Amino acid sequence: MPGPARQGGTEIAAELARLVEIEHTGQPAHVAHLDGADGGLHALLAALGRPQDELAAVVVPMSTGPDPALDAAVRAAVASAPVRTVAAEPLGPHPLIAEALHDRLADAGLARADRIRMMTMVTAATGVIVATPGDATAVRQAEVTSVLLASRLAAPVFTASLADEAGMRAAGEQLRAAGAASVAVAPHLIGPEPESRLVPAAAAAVGAAHAGPLGAHPALARLAALRYVEALSLALSQ
């Protein structure tokens, strides 16, 4: 997990770890933070106590997409680990992220839960902004997920940075110019990220309702298990 332990984020990570461990990999899944002492990644890896020639752990970043600072921190932690460790790719972009975003919009009454049954929902948005933490690079990465989400919703989807109020406003204006009568904001984050606090204000700035963060969505657990298997297979083949 990025940053130090936070109560809400730790609960989300613990539930995702439980789902990964029980329903997917069958291997022990632990939660660690890049910052912190007792709950830190270095301390957790040291406690594993495996021989140096044996692969002890695969570190799967709890991130919806590439993040240069986070990726560098993970690589540094893996490089300095006291046991043999490899880093997996970030969770996204991936169709499973789009699935989770769709579900969170549906949970908030902002999208149809079923793409096949075209039921009428008065509150369903006709345009969506995928609001992501990070800079312009993060926005470009999140646009892949936005395209996948637009396909699921059969509605226009734009992408903007949560920290860029002008970018959020521009996305809202583009959606309305494209004919969207109502706009919703889909937070492109899991929940423990500091940027979570920016969501209500970002949505208010464009006159939009917003869904909740992805949280411990089962799709993220499936995706974490996939990243684990990919990294493990690559490590064992080398």
- Alpha-carbon span 189 to 178, nearest angstrom: 26
The confidence score (pLDDT) of residue 39 equals 57
pLDDT at 37: 52
pLDDT given at position 122: 46
C-alpha–C-alpha distance, residues 142 and 186, integer Å:
11
Give the pLDDT confidence score for residue 207 in this predicted structure: 95
Which domains, from first to last, does the chain contain? 7-92+218-237 (no CATH), 95-210 (3.40.50)
223: Cα separation from own chain's centroid: 10
99-130 per-position pLDDT tens digit: 999 999 999 999 987 654 444 444 578 999 99
8 Å CB contact between 103 and 67: no
Cα–Cα distance, 138 to 64 (Å, whole number): 10
Q: What is the mean pLDDT of the chain?
A: 87
Q: How confident is the model over 208-225, as pLDDT tens digits?
A: 999 999 999 999 999 999
